Each structure stands twice: as structure tokens, then as C-alpha cells.
Copies of this chain bind each other. A is one copy, B any other.
């Protein structure tokens, strides 16, 4: 296992000093979100202290946080791992996302400024570029960031946190499933959504969002039920 970072003895004066547990949390979160840790993979404290060059305390806190968010699973004994998704789990996630994401898209449409739309368009361009390059990792990141910005615009912090948290649950599977499909067949209803938002059509944006979510999640569901078991 390779080291990602050395322990910084003296901080090289980044503008704001973020506490170590926060940094570790963000790194570990990204590892889960973009599928660098596969479902079922065990997560150990000491493994992460070596990998990220951090002390035990910050690593412990980051792991606890991610367990609370459902990104990691505490296995009764004292082992922690990235959870597998069951078919039932996927069904629940589809249900929640199909309710909450259109709602947020609707709110976002009401609040979006020209500046916001520009930012979303730029992110969607990045996403297209990633698809053309066949760069799965970049696709996953751009796609996530697009949705994240929509949440922020919607100005509904509790719903946004809820929607954001769900990504941690299906992120690991997304990587596995989409990896088998190639980047050409991935869902992208963002342009229809942007058009609706630009026209102030909240219902249209919500419908586009629902379609986007439904397509993506359905691919995961099919892979987990139809295909051979991932376990």
C-alpha cells in the first residue's frame, strides 16, 4: 500500500489551518465516494494512519463520522468495512433520491442566478469532456459536483445534507457498475435540466432531475440484481 501524504511537521502556511481530523475525513470521504475503496473492503485505523500519514485520534474520528453517515459499516466485533448494497437497499435509495432530488432541483430553479447557471454549465462541460476521454473517475467527480452545486443553490440545508449523504451509500457501487459499462452509456440529463432552470421552469427541472436519477440508479439496480453477485 503506498503512502499518499507525509505527516507535515510544520504547516506550510495554507491560508486557513484546517484541523487534521477534518482533512482526514475529507480524504477518506473522497475515497469512499469515488469508489477507491471497494464494497466489502475492510477499513482499519492503523492502515489509514500509515496510508494518510496521520495519528490515530484524527483517523478514529473520521471513521466514526463516516459510520454515522452510513458510508462505512461497523461490523459488531470491532471491524469496519465499506458496506455492500443489497437489492433492498438500492430500492430504498431510489425511492428517496427520486423524491428529494427533484424537489431540490425545483427549489434551485427558483433561486438560481445567472452566475449559478454559468457554473453549472461549466461543470456539465467538464462532464462531457470526461465522457469523451473515457475517464470514469473524472465523470464520477463532475457528476457529483454538478448535483452538489444544485443542492447548494436550492438553499435548503437539511434536504441538501440528506441528498448529499446518500451519495456515500451508492458511490462505491457506482464505480463498480459504471466501470463495466464504459463511459459512452452513462446517464446525462443535465442539459435538459439546465434549459428548464434557465427558463424558470421548476417543474421541468424537477422532471429532468428525476429522469437523471432514475436512469443512473436503475443501472446500479440491474447490475446488483440481474448480473452475477458482486460479492
Q: Which residues of A contact B (CB under 8 A)?
A: 19, 21, 57, 60-61, 64-70, 78, 88-89, 92-93, 95-96, 99-100, 103, 156-159, 161-162, 169
Are the CB atoms of B93 and A158 closer together than 8 Å?
yes
Interface SS of A by simple majority? helix
Name 20 extra pairs, CB < 8 A, besides A21-B64, A89-B157, A96-B100: A19-B78, A57-B60, A61-B61, A61-B64, A64-B64, A64-B65, A64-B68, A65-B65, A65-B68, A68-B68, A68-B69, A70-B161, A89-B158, A92-B157, A92-B158, A96-B158, A96-B159, A99-B99, A158-B169, A162-B162
- Bound CA span A96–B165, Å: 15
Whether the pair B64, A162 counts as a contact (CB closer than 8 A) is no
Q: How many copies altogether?
A: 2
Query: Which listed residue (B61, B78, B99, B159) contacts A92, Cβ 8 A?
Result: B159
A213 to B229, CA, bound (A): 40
Q: Can you name 8 A-B pairs with beta carbons within 8 Å?
A: A57-B57, A64-B64, A65-B65, A68-B69, A70-B161, A93-B158, A96-B158, A158-B169
